[in-house]
Amino acid sequence: MEPQIDNKTLDAAARRLDGQAPAPDAPAEALAREVTEHEAWLAERLAVTVAPELLDRVARQTQAALARRRRARWVGRALAGAGALAAGVVLAVTLLHSGTPPAPAPALSTQEAVEAFLADPGSDKDLEAFEAALDELAGDFSQPIPDSLDFRLDALEGDRGNPWLTGEDL
Amino acid sequence: MDPDPIQTAVRSARAGQPEGYRALLEVLGPRLMGYFYRATGDRHEAEDLLGELMLRLVRTLPKYDERGRFEPWLFRIAANLVRDRLRRRRSAGPRLSLSVGGEDGEPLADEICDGGPDVADTLVAREEGQALRAALETLDEPTRQTLLLRHFGQMSFAEIAQTMGCPLGTALARAHRGLRALRSRLAGHEPTG
């Protein structure tokens, strides 16, 4: 049977636990103490240890996303400054420098994305569409290439089943 | 005095420095991974969600208002990702529960987690992990989220109430009810050692 606790007591106990109410009445104080004790009990059971290799992998994905975004901004600024004719040149140069094979002529959606971005280079939404358009043109050359760590991790995963989460779940 | 490592990392990340994102992952990654894992019960989904969160950060961090605390802001995004993922999972149809045994009777999540040197210890740990997952699954979503955001997000009840759009007292009532329910369901599954 759940105990009935009135809203005033719940509010006061919550404020107490948030460190905002120094001296609540006795029922609120008792409730706050009970919750604290239960939380300490649960904390021991919820703990999960994460292998650093997992964080490395996510960090590399994040770095690749950052690089894509930076590239989109750079190309966008170059396009905005150079005008419509220069835009094609800058894109071509970017593609050449990226080392990827020439892409087919941009589709209408790509043109629209570029035009939208040029109209408002500060807009996040247009930047995202522009990023996608650049990816479409250049291929996703900024995707991280699996390095030896990934291969080692895959091997470990095969051996151990679950290399990421250790502790009570292993 | 050392500056707050989270604030330092946030500033660096906002400036577009990869080191800032790396530092954020180092400081908050384990808690985020724990949150995603306990919320979904699936380590692959948890890893996927952590990657998705970091990509979202790349887009949204420039909009973060440094006057507020960073962690509640971050865990609000994490909670939204979990909510969307669970919603998609529900709409995709019934799914085997992680606490339900596979064909051989072993819990599905633990079949990929084998391999400790001491078989007896491993089995006990498995049973405890399975019991916790099963107990968490019995909680309704807002109650489970309240407990997980409180533990992994280290959020105050006021922050949880704001995140979940409920009154302050309701946030505490959910935590209280959830904690009591978990404790009652896990009685007899106390960790050994």
Q: Which DSSP string corresponds to B108-131?
A: HHHHTS---S-HHHHHHHHHHHHH
Phi, psi for B70 (deg, rounded to 5): -75, -40
- Give residues 74 to 133 of A whose Cβ lies within 8 Å of B: 124, 128
Query: Which chain A positions have a beta carbon within 8 Å of B25's beta carbon?
Result: 55, 58-59, 62
The one-letter code for the residue type at B35 is Y
Contact A62 B125 (CB under 8 A): no
The per-residue pLDDT for range B106-157, each reduced to its tens digit, is 333 433 333 344 555 556 666 678 889 999 999 999 999 999 999 999 999 9
Contact B29 A49 (CB under 8 A): no
- Portion of chain A with pLDDT greater than 70, in percent: 55
* CA–CA dist A154, A38 (Å, integer): 39
CA distances from A138 to A75, A106, A143, B55, B113 (A): 12, 10, 12, 20, 40
pLDDT digits (tens, 9 = 90+) for B35-55: 999 999 998 999 999 999 999
Q: Does B158 touch chain A (CB under 8 A)?
A: yes
Q: Which residue on chain B is closest to A11 by alpha carbon? A: B169
Select from A49, A47, A55, A54 the least CA-distant residue to B25.
Answer: A55
Give B160's contacts (C-beta < 8 A, 6+ positions apart).
B146, B149, B150, B171, B175
Average pLDDT estimate for B74-91: 93
Which of B45, B108, B157, B162 to mutate to probe the A interface, most A CBs <10 Å?
Answer: B157
Higher pLDDT, A153 or B154: B154
Using DSSP, state whether B102 is helix, strand or coil. Answer: coil
**What type of residue sits at position B106?**
E
**Looking up tokens 């005033």, which residue turns up?**
A8
What's the whole-number average pLDDT of chain B? Answer: 83
With bands split at pLDDT 50, 70 and 90, how would you rate the model's confidence at A168? Answer: very low
Q: Do B47 and A54 touch (CB under 8 A)?
A: yes
Using one digit for the tens of pLDDT, what is the confidence trace for A38-75? 999 999 999 888 988 999 999 999 999 888 888 877 77
DSSP A82-106: HHHHHHHHHHHHHHHHHTPPPPPPP
pLDDT band (50, 70, 90) for residue A94:
confident
Query: Is the CB of B29 less than 8 angstroms away from the CB of A58?
Result: yes
Rounded distance between C-alpha atoms, residue A116 and residue A128, angstroms = 11
Residue A57 distance to chain B (closest CA, Å): 9
**Ranges A118-127, A153-162, B111-120: which has the least confidence:** B111-120
Of the candidates B34, B110, B116, the beta carbon closest to that of A46 is on: B34
Contacts of A80 by beta carbon, 8 Å cutoff, 6+ apart: A118, A121
Q: Which residues of A touch B26 (CB under 8 A)?
A: 55
For position A76, what pLDDT does the model report? 74
Helix (H, G, I), strand (E, B) or coil at A165: strand
**Least confident span in A110-114, A152-156, B6-10, B110-114:** B110-114
B51 touches chain A (CB under 8 A): yes
B79 at interface of A, judged by CB pairs closer than 8 A? no
Residues of A in contact with B51 (CB under 8 A): 58, 61-62
User: Is the minimum CB–CB distance between A11 and chain B shorter than 8 Å?
Assistant: yes
Residue B68: the pLDDT is: 82
**Mean pLDDT, rounded, for A17-32:** 88
Question: Which amino acid, A107?
Answer: A
Query: Taking 80 as the threshold, does the pLDDT of residue A166 lie above it?
Result: no
Residue A164, pLDDT > 50, answer no
pTM greater than 0.80 (yes/no): no
What was the pLDDT predicted at A158? Answer: 53
Cβ contacts of A18 on chain B, cutoff 8 Å: 156-158
Residue with the larger pLDDT of the pair A88 and B137: B137
Separation between Cα atoms, residue A161 and residue B99, nearest integer Å: 18
Q: Which residues of A touch B107 (CB under 8 A)?
A: none
B90 DSSP 8-state letter: H
pLDDT band at A96 (very low <50, low <70, confident <90, very high): confident
Residue with more model confidence, A169 or B122:
B122
Q: Per-residue pLDDT averaged across A9-14, rounded?
A: 95
Whose tokens are 């050692």? That residue is B193
In angstroms, the CA B59 to CA B165 distance is 25
Is there a contact between A14 and B51 if contact means CB atoms under 8 Å apart? no
Asked if pLDDT for residue B81 goes beyond 70, the answer is yes
Residue B49 identity: L
User: Which among A34, A70, A165 has the least Cβ separation from residue B43?
Assistant: A165
- Pick A65 or B189 by higher pLDDT: A65
- pLDDT band with cut points at 50, 70 and 90 for residue A156: low
